[in-house]
A = this chain, B = another copy of it.
Amino acid sequence: MARTPKVVEDRREQIIDAALHVFAQKGFTRATNKDIAREAGITPGLIYHYFDSKEALFMEMLERRSPISIVKAMPAEMFDLPAEDFLRTLVLHVLQLVEGEDFLLFIRTIAPEIIVNPTLSTLFRGLLQQQVLAFLHDFFARKMANGELRAGNPEIAGQMLIGSVMSFVMRRHLLQDETLLALSQQEITDSIVDMFLLGLKPREQ
């Protein structure tokens, strides 16, 4: 019944939001508490009323804004779709999610840190393996087993699919490559899926 007071949650959320934006723009080290406070419309001291340190704020932001449920949200029935439909739906879905503003901010924030921070790197690797790749592995393994897809290494298939999608996203949004930004998500999806399917689909004579 009693909940954490609304206002407190709002302020925390507000600071976390500000942090997300500033970190995404400047990176963790270059972002100052002053920056974050300005973005949140408060004074730097107040950050410490809600968080133990700049790092604690960063970590809490990761937890609260982490889109762990990328693939989880996929309904189980999808597994039974024909491989082509499934992939097309999945890739488009992922593209939409990943290219959403929130997710891009998150990527910009976490990516530079992952490279430098072993803790984060371990954490992220686990997430990738257990949440994303495991799901794709299941799918590919199943479809390869029932003959819908050409037999092969389902692990590597998943890795390449994700890699291809992410390489588009990175070039589009980290490098701001206008050549690629000109493409619609549907076009990208089709290109990727075509490439993958024609390679994975068993040969008809």
Contact = CB atoms under 8 A, between A and B. Distances in A.
Q: So how many copies of this chain end up in the complex? A: 4
A199 interface: yes
B195 A200 contact: yes
Contacts of A176: 121, 125
30 contacts: A27-B27, A27-B115, A29-B29, A30-B116, A83-B200, A111-B115, A112-B116, A125-B171, A128-B175, A149-B201, A150-B198, A150-B201, A150-B202, A157-B195, A157-B200, A159-B167, A159-B168, A160-B164, A163-B166, A163-B167, A163-B171, A194-B199, A195-B199, A195-B200, A196-B200, A198-B201, A199-B199, A199-B200, A199-B201, A203-B203
A115 B174 contact: yes
A192 B198 CA distance: 14
Interface of A: 25-27, 29-30, 83-84, 108, 111-116, 121, 124-125, 128-129, 147-150, 152-153, 155-157, 159-160, 162-164, 166-168, 171, 174-177, 179-180, 191-192, 194-203, 205
A196 to B, nearest CB: 5
B194 A196 contact: no
Given A149-B201, A150-B198, A191 B156 contact: yes
